[in-house]
Structure 1
Amino acid sequence: MRWSELIEAVRESGQYATAAEAERVTRAVLSALGGQVVGDERVDLAGRLPAEAARVIADEVPVVRRLTAPEFVESVALRLDGATPATARWDVSSVLTTLARAVDEELVDRLLNLLPPGYALLFGRAELAPAA
């Protein structure tokens, strides 16, 4: 997949009016994700994405404490001018759902195991609670 194909897929998924808007959102979400993902998962994710997307992820310094899913959405809202938590949730889901389709399921499973609970829905997956 090329960068332009990723942007077009995000544009379609998020129903953005222009490729420029989809690119702005994609960069913000990938940048935020880059701070959350570490180790082999970070390397594997970067290796399966277009070079431009890999650079956006790799340019972020990993955080000491991973954000919860709501905190992650808030962090993206702060990166996007005029965003609200609701619009940021849409943006995050549009990008991460597209990302999940661009890489294999095994990597998405590993990412979800690395991240705190609550991210599955952002990647377009149901999050099942363990049986009590």
Structure 2
Amino acid sequence: MVAEMALRREAFLDHVKERGEYGTVEEAERAARVVLALLGAHLVGEVRAQLAARLPEEFALILLNPLQSAEPLTPERFVRATAAWIEGATEQTATWDVSAVLSTVADAAGDDLLAQILLQLPAGYDLLFGRPQPT
């Protein structure tokens, strides 16, 4: 029996909705889809597979979509890319979207896997995941 069970879709979206203070589950889902697609483009190999295993299937598939980022985006550019994909978004609202989704992902991942995820990303993502790392 795996200790870290994948979150159910409803539970995952409820967390995102609550953290992002969205009016509807649809808004939370839109943010989750965009952020996970961008995150998936930055992660490779076993780390990406392990994280996918802890997400609801629909979101795991988005994370595993074979998009590869040409170059790793800095946290600022990741937020800008999110804003570009969400209709009517600004950098401020996109920062909120990214944090709502990634903090939920961090909870699903657990500390050990999150540490491995952060190793694959440029510096500064710890803040977007809501887990500031000691420097």
| TM, length-normalised to structure 2 | 0.91
Moved over 4 A (4+): none
2:22 aligned residue = 16
CA-atom RMSD, angstroms?
A: 1.0
1:108 CA displacement: 0.5
Q: Does 2:70 align with 1:64?
A: yes
1:90 to 1:60, Cα distance in 2 relative to 1, 3 A: farther
Q: Which amino acid aligns with 1:88?
A: A
Q: Deviations over 1:41-87 (max 9, x none)?
A: 11111111111111111114122311111111111111100111111
Structure 1 residue aligned with 2:44: 38
The one-letter code matched in structure 2 to 1:76 is T
Aligned to 1:99: 105
Q: Secondary structure at the match of 2:41?
A: helix
What stretches of structure 2 of length at least 5 have no aligned partner?
1-6
Identity %: 43
What aligned pairs does 1:79-98 form with structure 2 within 5 A after superposition? 79-98=85-104
Task: Using structure 1 for the length normalisation, give the TM-score.
Answer: 0.93
Shift of 1:36: 0.9
Residues 1:78 and 1:60: Cα distance change in structure 2 (over 3 Å):
farther
The offset of 1:128, in angstroms, is 3.1
The 1-side partners of 2:26 and 2:47 are apart by: 28
Opposite residue 105 of structure 2, the aligned amino acid is L
Count of aligned residue pairs for this structure pair: 129
Partner AA of 1:112 in structure 2: L
Residue type at the aligned position of 1:97: S
Distance in 2, Cα, partners of 1:49 & 1:37: 15
